[in-house]
Amino acid sequence: MVTIGDVARVAGVSRSTASYALSGKRSISAEVRDKVEQAVRDLGYTPNAGAKALATSQTQVLGLLARFLEDEFAPAMLQYILGVTNEARARGYDTLLITDEDGVAALRRISESRMVDGFILLNVAESDDRLGFLRAASQPGTLVGLPGDPTGLDVFDLDFVAAGRLMVETLHELGHRSLILVSQPEHVLERGGAYVSRLANAAQQRAAELGVELHHHFGASSQPQIGVELANLLDAHPEATGLLLNNEAAAAALPNVLQSRGLASPADISVIGRYSDDFARTFSLPYSAIDSAADELGRRAVERLVSRIEGTVDAESPVVDLFAPRIDDRGSTSVPPTRQ
Amino acid sequence: MVTIGDVARVAGVSRSTASYALSGKRSISAEVRDKVEQAVRDLGYTPNAGAKALATSQTQVLGLLARFLEDEFAPAMLQYILGVTNEARARGYDTLLITDEDGVAALRRISESRMVDGFILLNVAESDDRLGFLRAASQPGTLVGLPGDPTGLDVFDLDFVAAGRLMVETLHELGHRSLILVSQPEHVLERGGAYVSRLANAAQQRAAELGVELHHHFGASSQPQIGVELANLLDAHPEATGLLLNNEAAAAALPNVLQSRGLASPADISVIGRYSDDFARTFSLPYSAIDSAADELGRRAVERLVSRIEGTVDAESPVVDLFAPRIDDRGSTSVPPTRQ
DNA sequence: TCGACTTGTCGAACCGGTTCGATTCGAACC
DNA sequence: GGTTCGAATCGAACCGGTTCGACAAGTCGA
């Protein structure tokens, strides 16, 4: 291992001088700086991360806590993870990926051993047991996903209330008066996935305001059940001309369901989904949808966290940043068909 | 921060005694050990990771290098990542997730700063520029994905040669004599994804041995192109009774292609895919397939890496472990239809 | 009863960085 | 010409662990 002592010796200066020459925290003559830098290059010196962490109490590592829940669409998680790691690197941080079953224990372990400078929590639930510890931790933390009580924490999430309203308004403007909304399974909600009901409630309220009929259904999250449920829903509500999908599995199943019933979108039925752009591309889903913006949320969360770590942000101003939904138009909406 | 000095003071012993009491590396009286352990509990002591790393030259962290390539099916990567992180935790290691564009630079940075005890490389290419550095690095490394020259490295991968043979043999035994094989796009191969050609070559060779006709095609990796290509292939080879898919996008597109042509599987055509179990479940793909066994490969890679780190494995015995393929039967194969 | 071992503990050094205070030197100021 | 100041550098201490060598006390056999 080449240490800063080696660099100092080769450059003919003391260790402290070498350190200052590299950090620039005290003025150093140009001559000495050059010699030190040359020595660094000649020896191939890289500072030892552990020693640096010990001396500075900074690790340049972020902890990324990912919760993987059963019945949740896992691939979407990858987008968040990539958004976080890429942005972290761009800002000079590496990412420790933590997937422990017991999130609180993991948080405690990582936090108290001072392995990271801050935390990003993914998949935050309505009532998340990790938040209590996080508020008291000595490192700052940022959430992706809005909990019931975000007090004192920075939060980034899609604005699901606005999303619910936007879906309904969009179809209402086109003239639709009867819609079906398919949500994630109810147990996702029970587990704390409040975004499901935030979207559904907002949609229902907006529908009521606009005089639109809205049939809400908690769909299964797996095939082939969800396909059957979709078919049943279409049977039960033949007057519905619009379908809103806050359920990835439903979106994936819909093409076959429509085809087997001889229905086309948007000619017979307008469809708006809520899933990631990436998901849509992978499965060529032809439905207009509100993008989950996973990578953008991860990006913003890191940006904010790093600001906190580096003290460039007022410590007493936690922020709840709800990303405004936008519909990626893939042509699956139109005026409702005229019926007899 | 509570340090081992605090523990020692509360327990009324020296720092070294406290350290030995906790590590057990020297004999310590039961009385003292109890006092130290009590102090640890009372104070809530957790060792500082940076200090420990500095003192022991061990970080208890593994570096996971993931390469994300364009046109590759990204969600599959998540399975590998989870396999690695979970197994790592089970063995007392955390995981640093590295997604840098420039893998070699990242490897150098992480390795030389001594942030990790070892590396897992995902998505290893036929000729992978990271391997040269890895062989010379001071930490051991393990590959998931077989490169052209695995000399000196531990490698874990699905046995794609056996997979190609197995696909052909399975349909041959059922009586099929004309097959179509759809691979990943050719540029995946050019980029170093040799597994594509390993499977294709093995399949072609085995087909020749068995007197089976095999039409090989490099398919697109995205919708809707791949759907069109599949339709064209079926047109071009009406005598083919079996379809082998080493291409996730093709598998995802096939149900619609078959349906729109009025074909059913396995009645009209037998299908065998090669994709992860998870992928199949998410999209309810009804085709028998060879599982990529991503989590199992990740698990084995970590197991091996940890053995190397902890010196429980002979340093001079790198191993190439090719996972034997197995077909998950979903009922999409049968005897070929009898034709006029 | 003495020497040899064993057991349990302590102090000091070390890992590789950063940072504080002190020192030297030359320039600027009055 | 003495004082003051800033620039440049060094040595020492520190971060929080681990580990080596020394040593005191107790055990055992001869």
- What pLDDT digit, counting tens, does each position of B3-61 carry? 999 999 999 999 999 999 999 999 999 999 999 999 999 999 999 999 999 999 999 99
What is the distance in angstroms measured between the alpha-carbon CA of B104 and the sugar C1' of D2?
61
Is residue A11 a contact partner of residue A18, using CB atoms and an 8 Å limit?
yes
Distance A325 CA to C6 C1' (A): 74
Give the pLDDT confidence score for residue B28 in this predicted structure: 92
Question: Sign of the CA dihedral A81, A82, A85, A87?
Answer: negative
Give the pair of three-digit tokens for residue B291.
């599982």
| Closest approach of B172 to chain A, Cα-based (Å) | 30
Omega before B266 within 30 of 0, i.e. cis: yes
Six-digit token pair at A188? 């996702």
Looking at residues B72-92, what average pLDDT do you find? 88
pLDDT tens digits, one per residue of B221-270 = 776 778 889 999 999 999 999 999 999 889 988 887 887 788 988 999 99
Cβ distance of B86 and A99 shorter than 8 Å: yes
Q: What is the pLDDT of residues B258-304, one digit of tens each?
A: 877 889 889 999 999 999 887 887 777 889 999 988 889 999 999 99
* Residue B215 confidence (pLDDT) above 90: yes
Q: Can you read off the two tokens belonging to residue B277?
A: 């179990």
Between the alpha carbon of residue B59 and those of residues A113, A307, B116, B209, B236, the distances in Å are 12, 27, 6, 52, 58
Closest-CA residue of chain A to B222? A282
The residue ranges of chain A whose pLDDT is under 50 are 340
> Among candidates B264, B252, B14, B290, which has minimal Cα distance to B159?
B290
Q: Round to a whole number and report the distance in Å from the CA of A337 to the C1' of D13.
A: 82
The alpha carbon of A16 is separated from its chain's Cα centroid by a whole number of angstroms, namely 43
Considering CB atoms only, which of A59, A99, A222 is closest to B82? A99
Nucleotide lying nearest to A6, CA to C1' measure:
C16
Closest alpha carbon within chain A to B1: A112
Does B340 have pLDDT greater than 50? no
The mean predicted confidence, pLDDT, of chain B is 91
What H or E segment, with its residue span, contains residue A119?
A: strand A118-121
CA/C1' separation B305–C8 (Å): 37
Cα(A99)–Cα(A235) distance, rounded to whole angstroms?
42
pLDDT at B75 over 80: no
Sorted by where each starts, the structural domains of chain B and their CATH numbers stand as: 4-47 (1.10.260.40), 61-158+294-323 (3.40.50.2300), 160-291 (3.40.50.2300)
Asked whether the beta carbons of residue A282 and residue B98 sit closer than 8 angstroms, the reply is no
Calculate the angstrom distance between C1' of C11 and CA of B36: 19
Q: What is the pTM (predicted TM-score) of this model?
A: 0.92
Alpha carbon of A28: minimum distance to chain B alpha carbons (Å): 25
Q: Are B116 and B49 in contact (CB under 8 A)?
A: no
Inter-chain touch B284–A222, beta carbons under 8 Å: yes
> How confident is the model at residue A340, as a pLDDT?
44
Q: Whole-angstrom Cα distance, residue A297 to residue A144?
A: 7
Closest nucleotide relative to residue A17's CA, C1' based? D9
What is the three-state SS of A248-280?
A: HHHHHHHHHHHHHCCCCCCCCCEEEEECCHHHH
Single-letter code of the amino acid located at A97: L
What pLDDT was estimated at residue B186?
85
Q: How far apart are CA A37 and CA A18, in angstroms?
A: 9
**What value does the mean pLDDT take over residues B151-180?**
96
SS3 B332: coil
Question: Residue by residue, what is the 3-state secondary structure of B2-22?
Answer: CCHHHHHHHHCCCHHHHHHHH
Q: How confident is the model at residue B70, as a pLDDT?
A: 66
Check pLDDT > 60 for residue B108. yes
Identify all chain A residues contacting B109, using CB atoms and an 8 Å cutoff: 46
**Chain C bases closer than 7 A to any CB of the protein:** 7-21
The neighbouring-strand residues paired with B158 are B323
Instruction: Give how far A264 is from chain B: nearest CA, Å.
Output: 14
- The whole-angstrom separation of Cα A269 and Cα A257 is 12
Question: Which two tokens mark B183?
Answer: 């691979």
- Dihedral-angle region of residue A211 (phi above 0 means left; psi in -120 to 50 means alpha; beta otherwise): left
Over residues B141-170, the mean pLDDT reads 95
Instruction: Return the C-alpha torsion angle B214, B247, B271, B253, nearest 10.
Output: -120
B70, B112, B228: best to mutate for the A interface, most A CBs within 10 A: B112
Q: Chains A, B: CB contacts under 8 A, how many?
A: 145
Distance from CA of B82 to the nearest CA of A (A): 8
Contacts of A59 in chain B (CB under 8 A): 50
Taking the C1' atom of every nucleotide in all shown strands and the CA of B23, the nearest one is: D18
| Rounded-to-integer distance, Cα B18 and Cα B7, Å | 7
**What is residue B292's predicted lDDT score, i.e. its pLDDT?**
87
CA atoms within 13 A on the CB side of B72: 19
What does residue B177 show for φ and ψ, rounded to 5 degrees?
-130, -5
Q: Which among A193, A194, A182, A290 has a CA at the least distance from the CA of A226?
A: A182
Candidates B75, B82, B222; nearest CB to A68: B82
> Where does the pLDDT of residue B314 fall: very low under 50, low under 70, confident under 90, or very high at 90 and above?
low
